Structure 1
Amino acid sequence: MMTITASAITARTVALCLNPDGKARFFLPQKSHWTLYKTGEIVRSGETDRVITFIDCLDPATQYVFEVDTGESFTFTTAECAGRVDIRDFGARTEAANNGAAIAAALASVPVGGALAIPEGRWQTGPLFLKSDMTLHLEPGATLVFITDRDQIPILPAHTAQGDMLGSWEGLPDACYASIVTAIGCTNLEITGSGTLDGAGAEGDWWSWPKERRNGARRARTLFLNNCEAVTVSGITVQNSPSWTVHPLYCHDIEFVALAIKNPADSPNTDGLDPECCSDVLLEGIHFTVGDDCIAIKACKRGDDGSDDHIRPCEHITVRHCYMERGHGAVVIGSEMSGSVRHVTVEHCEFLGTDRGLRLKTRRGRGGEIAHVRCRNIIMQEVHSAIVANCFYFCDHDGRSEWVQSRAPYPVDASTPSIHDIEISDLVIRDVRVVIGAFYGLPEMPIRSVSINNIHASFDNSTEGDVPVMALQVPTCHHVGFSTEFAELNFQNEHEYFPLSIEKE
């Protein structure tokens, strides 16, 4: 029996969750034909192979009935809209080199509860600064493309006038270029539609200075949300990012549903979606194929001088029904986690060709904790190492120092990180090259309370191994089950792995 629920509803779009058995991941076991009714009449029909199905171009404040070919139906009503503002009415033109002024004028005229419409076409623009109580609707065939002239892109300072962190880089306050879509302090905001946000990473020179500054600023993101609440982002494609693709910072009650996030494999630091110091976050039905981590959950990091007034927890994060097709890590926590990352659930997902599957990383000096992480009902295919937890991550300028890498115990203080209460269950892992699991804790703070239940894994037919984590003093592994150091693992019920993969489903 198909269970149908609503994941996200706006005035003109809906994302529905179709789950035939409660265990479906990103793809449905078989395609489903659907029909959409309004006042008893068929208004749309289609076919989907995905658990999260997105529909655009609906009428506001209208009741619809969505029905699948197996007979189940779901009734929903779209939200009201106070008015649609078309950017063309304010002078936006597809041939313009920068539509920023025209789109800003259109945005300013959007009434409370209204929508800014980006119609079909390719629209170049500088950063757009959204406001509360509005919808940005990228209609079918619409593409917003970032300009490449940095002299026309404003720089966000490291701090607001009130002293809060605004711009950032790798967990510390830092000036950065504004994003093509930027929202600061917004509430009740929707970004939706079938269109595309294009960060023009390949067209500019962003990727040629990945760890540097230009004009005193770090690279732009493509979608940046700072200190926002009650935000829905649904349906859109976000691609070709200058650096991190989607970056919510200090946000609460936000959801990202039915997105496609795409960057070239060789584009540096183009993480897919990085919630940082956020709470109550849903990531559902997202297809990732990126140049770095697909999802990286972060909580800032302490400065070299010990400064920590910018760090906050990142907690109550749910990732489900997602497809990580390529990336350095499918779901990563850290290494910037000084504010602590807690209560993370990753479930009903598919990982294909990511270097690591679930990856927890930290180091001495971070402080904070990674705790209460649950990972269940995941399929991983052709991953380097499936599950890794590393407390010796050699990031930052001192990452290879004796203090960070030593296996001798150091005194426990506020800068000592911890990893504990991790639950991993019901995983199918195929064609692993290095290890099923690698857990390396600190001698003074071992990884503890890791529960592993019902793991079925097979290895690939490679002939050479590798180190499973980015740390010194780690042995090379090849077709290893579990490699541990200063870690407490509790195996429950069955777990099994085989020396070589002999078949693929």
Structure 2
Amino acid sequence: MTRPYLIAHSARTAAVCLPLPGARYRLPQPLAYRLTAEQAMSSKAAGHADGAEELLQQEEGKVETAVLLLHGLNPSTRYRLEVDGCEAVFFETAACRGLVDASAFGLTADVALDDPAGAVANAVCLARAIKAVPEGGTLRLPAGIWTASPVALKSDITFHLAEGAVLRAPSSREGWPIMPARDADGRLLGSWEGLPAACYAAGIHAVGARNLTIEGQGIIDGSGSAGDWWSWPKETRDGARRPRGLHLVRCDNICLFGFTIRNAPSWTIHPHGCEGLTAVGLHILAPHDSPNTDGFNPESCRNVLIAGTHFSVGDDCIAIKAGKRGAEGEAEHLAETRGIAVRHCLMERGHGGVVIGSEMSGGVHDVMVEDCDMIGTDRGLRVKTRRGRGGAIGAIFMRRVLLDGVETAISVNAHYHCDADGHADWVQSRVPRTFDAGTPIISDITVDDVEIRDLAHAAGVFLGLPEAPLRNIAISRLRIVSHAEEAEATPPIMADHVRPMRHERILAEHAEVTCDDPTLMSSAPISLFPIREAV
């Protein structure tokens, strides 16, 4: 029998993985489950004040996804979960040391998006409510539409978005706080594409928080489509860059459960310098033409799990980053990213399913992507960098993944034409240059048991630097099931001098790639021609 396991839990929410054979985002078939509370607990433990005993809880239902989210649990209670064909799972919810209702602090519902005064007033009320939550307690935002200016969360609390609750940012920048590039002690706060920079504070943000949970069946709406945010994607206005949807800076032991977050002004969820972060069962959404609305971008983070999450966004679904070396070689702000696991997720559309870079100067290591569906994304697994970045990428694994309607399944590109000088000869030349601190190194990428359907451009494109070839790329059990007949020949990666491709196999240039099926390896060139120049 399959042995489910508890991914994480809080006082009122639990996430359980059902690792059945063939399960990716969804199970091979729906299964019945029964959840039973086996131990009663006092209402005091639940955060109530009437002293009555909570009733024992029983719930039955059907589960269709490999990660099951259980909401509305009682704190400090032992539960038994039974799923057809699986061993029983036992777990005990955490204690809640006080339940605070945000509506008791003067919040006003249905404030208009273009009412900055009303949004600021609601943010003040929420700040008072957050301050009132005791350590280990919960702040509950009830059902309703709540417009509020950016709100900072604190350590040792749970922020619970009730079903039907929508917390939305205003459309106006009037009174919107700006997060400086650094705090008073010189530590990084704001950033933009891997460099220190002032940015507008996210609608929900936390700096230096520990033991923080954000959970529930409600919605966080960044109102990116309501203001003018998406009309200046690469600009600075009033001294700041666009805000994220949820921004976590130097936070440890963070859990994100079940909520929907949508319409972020820029990146949707951006953990920066965090350690120990679990994100389970989220719905991360943005219109497909919205600029740079990446889904989840862990940057300079360690030990991050993203599981059972649905992405449909305007840019990369998951983009793993580690900062960018400055134009003059500045590197003091860099820190590595290590230990990222992506399991049982669904990535729809977007520019890439799981992407590493292009900001990777601090180094990215130990990334595992398994049991996922990538449907209609431009690329599946994507690594992108360029000369000048430096840093190293290694120990990247992808296995048991379906790529359906993905234009280029796997791409590794060391000539990515980002930044103002991205098309310069020294960046794009295929002639070896001097190996130095700005030379990125990419090695040890393993792809196993991957199915490709409706392939448009290429199964794999590996373009390395002549002075630093890609090393130890291993591909096994890769299956091309079908091709997209309507596909048009297009360069499959964003580098200069790359020829258009259609329905091609695995191509490598300045790269050591092995495959257990030699017929999948192509001897065709990637580049149209090398640029000749003095080294």
TM-score by length of 2: 0.91
Could you tell me how far apart the structure 2 residues matched to 1:460 and 1:387 are?
A: 16
Superimposed CA distance per residue, residues 324-374 of structure 1 (whole angstroms, 9 cap, x where no aligned partner): 011100000000000011111111100000000000000000000111101
From the superposition, tell whether residues 443 and 33 of structure 1 become closer, same or farther in structure 2 (CA, over 3 Å). same
Q: SS of the residue aligned with 1:152? A: coil
1:483 aligns with 2:484: no
Q: Percent identity?
A: 47
From the superposition, tell whether residues 483 and 138 of structure 1 become closer, same or farther in structure 2 (CA, over 3 Å). same
Counterpart residue type for residue 2 of structure 1: T
1:461 aligns with 2:479: no
Could you tell me how far apart the structure 1 residues matched to 2:379 and 2:490 are?
A: 12
The aligned residue for residue 106 of structure 2 is 91
Could you tell me how far apart the structure 2 residues matched to 1:36 and 1:207 are?
A: 44
Q: SS of the residue aligned with 1:467? A: coil
Could you tell me how far apart the structure 1 residues matched to 2:279 and 2:519 are?
A: 33
The aligned residue for residue 386 of structure 1 is 409
Shift of 1:409: 0.5
TM-score by length of 1: 0.96
CA contact (8 A) 1:453 1:495 kept: no
Shift of 1:432: 0.6
From the superposition, tell whether residues 42 and 232 of structure 1 become closer, same or farther in structure 2 (CA, over 3 Å). closer
Could you tell me how far apart the structure 1 residues matched to 2:519 and 2:109 are?
A: 57
The aligned residue for residue 530 of structure 2 is none
1:176 aligns with 2:175: no
Shift of 1:55: 1.6
The aligned runs of 1:129-140 (5 Å cut-off) are 129-140=152-163
Superimposed CA distance per residue, residues 257-281 of structure 1 (whole angstroms, 9 cap, x where no aligned partner): 1111000001100000000000111
CA contact (8 A) 2:209 2:251 kept: yes
Could you tell me how far apart the structure 2 residues matched to 1:464 and 1:44 are?
A: 51
The number of residues matched between the two structures is 497
CA contact (8 A) 1:202 1:240 kept: yes
Could you tell me how far apart the structure 2 residues matched to 1:282 and 1:344 are?
A: 10
Shift of 1:194: 1.0
CA contact (8 A) 1:321 1:349 kept: yes
Q: SS of the residue aligned with 1:3? A: coil
User: Which residue of the other structure, out of 474, 484, 498, is the alignment partner of 1:451?
Assistant: 474
Q: SS of the residue aligned with 1:179? A: coil
Q: SS of the residue aligned with 1:190? A: strand
Superimposed CA distance per residue, residues 117-163 of structure 1 (whole angstroms, 9 cap, x where no aligned partner): 01111111111111111111111111111112212210000111111
Q: SS of the residue aligned with 1:432? A: coil
Shift of 1:42: 5.4
Could you tell me how far apart the structure 2 residues matched to 1:376 and 1:71 are?
A: 23
Structure 1: runs of 5 or more not aligned: 499-505
Q: SS of the residue aligned with 1:106? A: helix
Q: SS of the residue aligned with 1:272? A: coil
Shift of 1:20: 2.1
1:75 aligns with 2:74: no
CA contact (8 A) 1:284 1:321 kept: yes
Could you tell me how far apart the structure 2 residues matched to 1:485 and 1:153 are?
A: 48
The aligned residue for residue 4 of structure 1 is 4
Could you tell me how far apart the structure 1 residues matched to 2:239 and 2:405 are?
A: 41
Shift of 1:165: 1.4
Q: SS of the residue aligned with 1:275? A: coil
User: Which residue of the other structure, out of 138, 151, 158, is the alignment partner of 1:128?
Assistant: 151
The aligned runs of 1:38-187 (5 Å cut-off) are 38-39=37-38, 43-70=58-85, 72-96=87-111, 97-98=118-119, 99-187=122-210
1:32 aligns with 2:31: yes
From the superposition, tell whether residues 463 and 146 of structure 1 become closer, same or farther in structure 2 (CA, over 3 Å). closer
1:325 aligns with 2:348: yes
Could you tell me how far apart the structure 2 residues matched to 1:106 and 1:423 are?
A: 48
Shift of 1:43: 2.1
Could you tell me how far apart the structure 1 residues matched to 2:201 and 2:174 are?
A: 12
CA contact (8 A) 1:142 1:196 kept: yes
From the superposition, tell whether residues 149 and 424 of structure 1 become closer, same or farther in structure 2 (CA, over 3 Å). same
Could you tell me how far apart the structure 1 residues matched to 2:150 and 2:307 are?
A: 26
CA contact (8 A) 1:301 1:366 kept: yes
The aligned residue for residue 501 of structure 1 is none
CA contact (8 A) 2:3 2:86 kept: no
Shift of 1:495: 6.9
Could you tell me how far apart the structure 2 residues matched to 1:80 and 1:338 are?
A: 41
Q: Which has the higher strand share?
A: 1
Shift of 1:497: 9.7
Shift of 1:494: 7.4
Shift of 1:443: 0.5
Counterpart residue type for residue 57 of structure 1: G
Shift of 1:39: 3.1
